[in-house]
Amino acid sequence: MIRKDLSLFPFLFIFIILLATFSFSQQRGSLEKIVISKTEKTLEVRVLLSLFSYYRQFELSGPNRVVIDCFDTRSIKTPSFLRVNALGVRGIRTGMFKPGTARVVFDMIDQIPPYKIESIENGLRILFWPEEEKVIEEKVEIEIEDAICDIKVNPVKANVNDPIFVDMSGSKNAKSMEVEVFDKEGMKITSQKLTPENPKWETRFDKPGEYFFKGKAFSTEDKSSENLCEARTYINSPPVSRLECSPCKERILKPITLDATGSTDPDGQIIRVDFDITDEEGNLVDRFTDNEMPFSWEKVFEDKGLYTVTAIGTDDYGAMSEPAQVNVVVRGGQKETFHPARFRCSGCPRTRYNICLVYGRTTGHSLSDLSRHIRYHYLRRRSLYY
């Protein structure tokens, strides 16, 4: 009994599949008919189906066509071609694209005219040259907001002739902006008009001191902003260099002190002094930089002549002073030579002698002159016993 039931199972399975296929085919609809309605300005086409599920629409070119695929459609009852020749549409063709898909093609005379597709009960409605919907104008009262001013100035401290950047891009509800610049005494220096499209400005100051920026923003009704809109910047005062020489006239190979310690800075401190020495022809002879107080240079000239010494101070904000100058006259003299001299050391035992190696120059001939006019020397003592 069990074997007989198993032998009937394949036939039962095939019967269920055929029954499901038949039931599914019965659920598919058909393209019943296409209804065309013409007016002077519009062309309406209704595609009616016995069972409408969903569709796909796209356009093709060469020639221009509008294609609509209706799915879950098993057959077409309407004629395969309908002639239209109106409002840009040449005709309508129908056919089964593939099983279950009916295709409707609109052939155009030239360009594809404007159209819209909408779903209706049991089908689609295609309307060519649809009338534009009338826009109902509504009067809306627009409240114009007051302008709000915003200003930024960078840097807040700079040197003379450095660029100062003004930015008013943060202003709101503004049709235009304006900035005015005043000095510490309240005197107006300059002004500049700006717009939201061009809200930035660059300026420079050739004098040290504090400067104030006052901004305003204007609404579309030219109403000025009421909020506080100010900024300021400080232009650093450059240092003032002072240079002295001691002595200003001397012989060659004699030290001359070049002193710039008297240099001052009105609003900071000097951190460096640069010394330059040039000869009568303007050629650079030597240079020196002093980064610590006191700012001085002990210089020894090896050749006679008239020299110009220039000192330039730099403050803690990078500003440089105007050059300070002095003239130094160097006279000729005997060149330095190396003289070993042996003499008795004062205060030493009689049996001891000092050897003094003297390096320098002398303008006299005696041993005392040699000791008095020495520039560089090295003293070495050694005891000798006889």
Round to whole Å and give the CA distance between 118 and 128: 12
Residues 76 and 103 in one domain: yes
Please write down the HEC assignment for all residues of the chain. Answer: CHHHHHHHHHHHHHHHHHHHHHHHHHHCEEEEEEEEEECCCCEEEEEEECCCCCEEEEEECCCCEEEEEEECEEEECCCCEEEEEECCEEEEEEEEEECCEEEEEEEECCCCCCEEEEEECCEEEEEECCCCCCCCCCCCCCCCCCCECCCEEECCEECCCCCEEEECCCCECCCEEEEEEEECCCCEEEEEEECCCCCEEEECCCCCEEEEEEEEEECCCCCECCCCCEEEEEECCCCECCCEEECCEEECCCEEEEECCCCECCCCCEEEEEEEEECCCCCEEEEEEECCCCCEEEEECCCCEEEEEEEEEEECCCCECCCEEEEEEEECCCCCEEEEEEECCCCCCCCCCEEEEEEECCCCCCHHHHHHCCCEEEECCCCCCC
Residue 15 domain-assigned?
no
Question: Residues in the chain, how many?
Answer: 386
> What's the pLDDT tens digit per position in 246-284?
999 999 999 999 999 999 999 999 999 999 999 999 999
**Number of structural domains in the chain:** 4
Listed residues 189, 213, 235: the one ending a domain: 235
Q: Is the pLDDT of residue 25 over 60?
A: no
Residues 327 and 281 in one domain: yes
Torsion over CA of 29, 31, 36 and 37, rounded to 10 degrees? 0
Listed residues 235, 267, 285: the one ending a domain: 235
Residues 31 and 82 in one domain: yes
Residue 386's pLDDT is what? 28
Residues 73 and 113 in one domain: yes
Residue 143 domain-assigned?
no
Torsion over CA of 24, 26, 27 and 32, rounded to 10 degrees? 140
Nearest to 200 by CA among 171, 167, 230, 172: 167
Round to whole Å and give the CA distance between 344 and 236: 64
Q: Considering the chain, what is the average pLDDT of its residues?
A: 82
Nearest to 90 by CA among 73, 110, 68, 75: 110
The answer to whether the beta carbons of residues 57 and 66 sit under 8 Å apart is yes
Residue 185 domain-assigned?
yes
Buried b / exposed e over 255-285, threshold 16 CB at 10 Å, is ebebbbeebebebeebbbbbbbbbeeeeeeb
The answer to whether the beta carbons of residues 300 and 254 sit under 8 Å apart is yes
In CATH, what number is assigned to the domain containing residue 225?
A: 2.60.40.10
Range(s) of the domain holding residue 47? 26-128
Residues 228 and 252 in one domain: no
Residue 369 domain-assigned?
yes
Q: Is the pLDDT of residue 105 over 80?
A: yes
Residue 8 domain-assigned?
no
Residues 253 and 344 in one domain: no
- Mean predicted confidence (pLDDT) in 198-225: 95
Residues 110 and 44 in one domain: yes
Residue 7's pLDDT is what? 57
Residues 262 and 175 in one domain: no
Residue 21 domain-assigned?
no
pLDDT interval class at 27 (50, 70, 90): low
Residues 313 and 346 in one domain: no
Residues 61 and 47 in one domain: yes
- Mean predicted confidence (pLDDT) in 107-111: 91
Q: Residue 177 carries which side chain, given as an amino acid letter? A: M
pLDDT interval class at 23 (50, 70, 90): very low
Tell me which range, 52-61, 136-145, 301-310, 343-352, is most confidently predicted by mean pLDDT. 301-310
Listed residues 306, 331, 356: the one ending a domain: 331
> What's the pLDDT tens digit per position in 145-191?
899 999 999 999 999 999 999 999 999 999 999 999 999 999 999 99
- Mean predicted confidence (pLDDT) in 77-97: 90
This prediction has a pTM of 0.49
Degrees, nearest 5: CA angle 192-193-199: 105
Round to whole Å and give the CA distance between 17 and 24: 11
Residues 223 and 274 in one domain: no
Nearest to 315 by CA among 263, 262, 245: 263
Residue 18 domain-assigned?
no
Round to whole Å and give the CA distance between 71 and 250: 115
Residue 66 domain-assigned?
yes
* 64 burial level (CB within 10 Å; 0-12, 13-18, 19+): middle
Residues 38 and 120 in one domain: yes
Residue 135's pLDDT is what? 64
